[in-house]
Amino acid sequence: MDIRKLEAFLRAAETSSLSEASKQLHLSQPALSHQIKLLEEELEVQLFIRSNTGLKLTEAGQLLLPWAQRLLHDTNNLKDMMSSLQHVFVGDLRIACSSTSGKYILPLLVARFCSHHSGVRAHILSCRPDYTVPSLLEGEAHLGIVSSEVNNSSLESQEFFRDSINLIVSSNHPWASRTSVDASEITQEPMILREATSGTRRVMMEELAKFDISLDDLKIFLELGNVEAVMEVVAEGFGISFVSDLASYCMRQLKRVVKVKVDGLNMQRVNFMMRKRNAPPHRASNVFWGFIHAPENADILITRHIA
């Protein structure tokens, strides 16, 4: 099967527009339409319903879409592998990241990696925790970052970094000037929480359980699915929250929020990097697997933990 036909199909499916797809592929619209028509004739199905409002995938088109994506990914990986034999780092490096704190570390490491290997084009795919594993198993991503270890025999993992989770309050909060607070005092303050699937929330509740504090004991008035939104609400003085040290670093540098020690609490979260076992050789991801622990990269973590 001609890869050019699949690429024409994928671009048209992604954009729902022949004109936009033809621009992205640097083809004339008739040439693009011809590629799709040839593919439909080869497969003996109709892939799109064409109308004045654009393109819509037929049932056959929806079935073909994930297979076409996988074939294109495998083709690009094959090209990268052949290029790597010439000791040249080229091609895509795709990393799925479902860790909140990971998004503060990973882009800096990837940027540094790409500055050393200019032929690599990296893509950080932000996704939900339950999507990271499928993206690795289906070949959509070469690597994945998660906030808790995944038990799957088809994957291997290594510790990426450790992050602390601490209580933050507004710089104008009465606790901002205190050296520490008692765990029982937390139950008296309005609390902002992350969503139920958040790794930060899971670690927080596990640690608070040691003090017999449950969700019912907390004065929760707001749940948010975004750590930046949580910190903004805290900074404005509406409540307190537990967040990653890495996530709160900039807010603390700006002195909008303050980190407050809670006596007896020690919240640490381990973030892991995963990859598929027995995956086709892919030099960029294999080298990045070791690059993250190179001594010269320690500064990226250290500067964000000392504040």
Q: How many domains does the chain have?
A: 3
Assign 3-class secondary structure to 211-270: HCCCHHHCEEEEEECCHHHHHHHHHCCCCEEEEEHHHHHHHHHCCCEEEEEECCCCEEEE
Centre a 10 Å sphere on the Cβ of residue 208 and count the other Cβ atoms it contains: 21
Clarify whether residues 263 and 274 are in a common domain: no
Where among 14, 45, 68 does a domain terminate? 68
Clarify whether residues 138 and 279 are in a common domain: yes
Clarify whether residues 195 and 143 are in a common domain: no
Clarify whether residues 210 and 225 are in a common domain: yes
The DSSP call for residue 26 is: T
Note whether residue 254 is domain-resident: yes
* Three-state SS at 142: coil
Q: Is the dihedral of CA 157, 96, 122, 159 positive or negative?
A: negative
Clarify whether residues 114 and 179 are in a common domain: no
Clarify whether residues 27 and 119 are in a common domain: no
Range of the domain at 13: 3-68
Nearest in space to 56 (alpha carbons), one of 8, 17, 11, 24: 17
Contact predicate 259/252, CB 8 Å: yes
Note whether residue 217 is domain-resident: yes
pLDDT tens sequence for the chain (307 residues): 778 888 888 888 888 888 888 888 888 888 888 989 998 889 999 999 888 778 889 999 889 888 888 888 878 777 766 766 665 567 789 999 988 778 888 999 999 999 988 888 999 987 777 788 889 998 889 999 988 888 888 999 999 988 889 999 999 999 999 989 999 999 999 999 998 888 888 889 999 999 999 999 999 999 998 899 999 999 999 999 999 998 899 999 999 999 999 999 988 888 899 999 988 878 889 889 999 988 888 888 665 554 4
Q: What is the pTM of this model?
A: 0.66
Environment class of 274 (CB within 10 Å of its CB; exposed 0-12, middle 13-18, buried 19+): buried
Q: Quote the tokens at residue 90.
A: 């080229």
pLDDT for 91? 77
